[in-house]
Chain A
Amino acid sequence: MRTSALYAAGALMLLAGCGSGSNTVTVEDAWIPAAPPGAGVMAGYLLLRNGSSQALRCDGASGADFGAAEIHRSVVENGQSRMLRDQVLELAAGESATLAPGGLHLMLFRPAREFKIGDKTELKLHCGSVTVTASARIQEPR
């Protein structure tokens, strides 16, 4: 009983960890560029910091307003612009990863609604037993 309460408290701390505090996994500057009307797919960008003492391995994503989400990477190889699926973010303790235009990004499929600049939507990164939640803001492309 007492043990499970401790676990619950631990899980809550982990969830609450998004945004502040040390020794936690945090997400900063989560944003989604506004897309043309009727866009079937959007991109999500963020800065992921592994402030914990454990290595972090994120291999999945989801979004509250999207049919599906994946971790992708845009690359240019031999003059060809390509998109690589099924990317894994591996962060040692203390490391961070930047998802930004032209490289790593969250591929957000089938938006369930039309967004306006300033709207917010929840994105999640799935990292084994840890789920990192971020509130992403719809912004002008930058």
Chain B
Amino acid sequence: MWDNEASIIPKFRATTRPATSDHPTVPSNRSVNHTVIAALAGATALIGGILLATWLNTPGTTTLRSGTLLQQPRVLPALDLIDQDGQPFTHAQLQGHWTLIFPGFTYCPDICPTTLGLLKTVQTQLGSRAEHLQVVLFSVDPERDTPERLKEYVTYFSPAFRGVTTSEPNLKAVAQALGVAYAKVPGGAPGEYSMDHSAALILINPRGELAGYFTGPFQADLLLADLKQVLERSP
């Protein structure tokens, strides 16, 4: 659906005829004026109609207020991830619905819970439409984030949220494919390191292709409006 954008954009062909010239009869001054006024009114209505129709009908040029859609969705390489139940998470889990991927880690008390809390709010406000959106925490910290730990963490926010990760060097490859950068930063004690990671949320379309990014600072109302637009594009 994304690469067929051109066919969705409404087309307005030049179907109007010249309205005033070559009139067969010779009108009086008064009727000339009427003809000109009628033509102007007609032209104005036509242009107004075109503008209105364009404004109302722009699914092909969805613009997001808190993110960017790629003009051409990017095909992703194989994703060999493990989910919070220890089950494989691959392309198969990206098919048929939209997916929002949040790169992060669970040993993160400020940004990660705040973002997941916000995504929970958005998910609730989407109502039944939320069925078409899968929310996934992609942990860049597999050393601490075992499937069990991921499960405790994500299901605390929503039973529908998923948590995925993988070990190195596969983590690096998947992160690169998703456009995610990360780095380990030492803390005060060996187990208390932090992870720098890309702040953007990654949008995957129902064909499992990378469709766009949302960038912070995230606001629930903007993200909700954007996701409603995106979900309306669902097949």
Binding site for B on A (CB under 8 A): 33, 35-43, 68, 70, 72, 74, 76, 79-83, 85, 101-102, 105, 107-109, 141-142
Q: What is the CB-to-nearest-CB distance from A101 to chain B, in angstroms, rounded to a whole number?
A: 4
Closest 8 CB pairs of A and B: A36-B156, A43-B109, A81-B199, A141-B117, A101-B114, A82-B196, A36-B153, A76-B199
B91 within 8 A of A: no
Additional A-B contacts beyond A79-B199, A80-B181, A81-B111 (19; CB < 8 A): A33-B109, A39-B106, A40-B144, A41-B107, A41-B109, A74-B110, A76-B217, A80-B199, A81-B196, A81-B199, A83-B108, A83-B110, A83-B111, A83-B185, A85-B188, A102-B111, A107-B109, A108-B109, A109-B189
Among B107, B110, B192, which residue has its beta carbon within 8 angstroms of that of A105? B110
Binding site for A on B (CB under 8 A): 104, 106-111, 113-114, 117, 144, 149, 152-153, 156-157, 181, 185, 187-189, 191-192, 194, 196-200, 215-217
- Please name all residues of chain A whose beta carbon is closer than 8 Å to the beta carbon of B197 when the two chains form the complex: 80-81
CA distance A36 to B197 in the complex (A): 21
Q: What is the CB-to-nearest-CB distance from A26 to chain B, in angstroms, rounded to a whole number?
A: 23
- Please name all residues of chain B whose beta carbon is closer than 8 Å to the beta carbon of A142 when the two chains form the complex: 117
Q: What is the CB-to-nearest-CB distance from B140 to chain A, in angstroms, rounded to a whole number?
A: 10
A80 touches B187 (CB 8 A): no
A35 touches B113 (CB 8 A): yes
- Please name all residues of chain A whose beta carbon is closer than 8 Å to the beta carbon of B191 when the two chains form the complex: 40
CA distance A15 to B199 in the complex (A): 40
Could you name 28 residue pairs across A and B whose Cβ atoms are closer than 8 Å? A33-B109, A35-B109, A36-B106, A36-B152, A37-B156, A38-B149, A40-B191, A41-B108, A42-B109, A43-B109, A68-B188, A74-B110, A79-B198, A80-B196, A80-B199, A81-B104, A81-B111, A81-B198, A82-B185, A83-B185, A83-B194, A101-B114, A102-B110, A102-B114, A107-B109, A108-B109, A109-B189, A141-B113
